[in-house]
Structure 1
């Protein structure tokens, strides 16, 4: 879920999700209330009641904690699906590691490398799809792979390599103001060796070369290990967003 939708959009944003609908065989709609939106629960209610989607993936600021009780009265089954935490780094303020022999940034990964990296890095990642009994975990991983391949095809990715090949991958979305890290991780065999810090440095260096002011990133709330790494590097927490799946009751019978 992009930074603008979560942090800056003024109105409630709703959109069909054709990729997810095709992947899971159910019509899926995304509904987002940003941190800066003045929307009320009544606005969300109106959108939900008008929707024909089988599943609505709703995200809203965690401070609106009282909303969940109201979501259970809309004629759908409301399933809590964890949270997203958003962090931000001002470019130039990262506590980057010193260069190390045998670890270097750069290079464009081949399609086969991207597939293997995503499956190795994210195969056990506890994403929000796992909360939904109608979503297949394997199909969710396929979605991550497709997402990463689209970024790689557009040149919107950074890798860190070593003698054994590509050690870490980050896929990006970039504009004139910021660089957003979409997916980022280190292959299991290279974890615990400080490679992740070199990956963040490569992203920050790329953002600086483009004149971007900040790097932003998000993860599921339970993923505290990576959040500690962000804190060590210099990222600061900005926002937590709750995720709720609203499912048509007849689909769960």
Structure 2
């Protein structure tokens, strides 16, 4: 293996000490730089041309990407891209970043990304509750963590708010936007069931107050085959006595008041529990 290949495995950027500890020599690094395959970002840090900016920020900041900045790199859902880079740094940290201090589980990879446990704990302590719930929901859904495991790692009064956020997670959502919709409906005091199997209809995203089906449409619902399937399900739902509303990402995220108003308009037309 040569230096460029090693850097590709390490996220395209690394400290010189990391490269040397992998068995390379200073001459190997100098030759790669001279050949234009590797560039020096500063003394002690080398990278491939075009290295990801967040990885570069992490290594230059002597830290690991975590919280909202590390989520996507660990395959977790992320509702909004962070305005600043979130780093786990044991000491110091760049002033233009959000710095997290405590680490519970070593990251265990060559890339400068914190462990899933650290990313989730930092997110629960740092992010708005809906954004944190989205991250945790995806981790639970994928089976890479559990709610009891996270609760055990959030002891004491200072973690009370973070533990409370875990109550928003049930692991039933198929996407980040479904988490947002579920929390939106339940915050209104609406009896909300998720991923309900209805005879003759199939599995629906939400069943509100036992009779209103709400479906959250992703990009695949614009495909002709899916449009036909959705139309058939809508008809079957109506013929079975259910009401149906459908919403997309933009509706739920950018116009939740409209969604709630329309849901209540339907619910008030029927007797609720």
Q: TM-score, normalised by structure 2?
A: 0.21
- The structure with the larger Rg is 2
Compare the two structures and name the one with the higher helix fraction.
Answer: 2
Q: Which of the pair has the greater relative contact order for Cα pairs under 8 Å at 6+ separation?
A: 1
Q: TM-score, normalised by structure 1?
A: 0.22
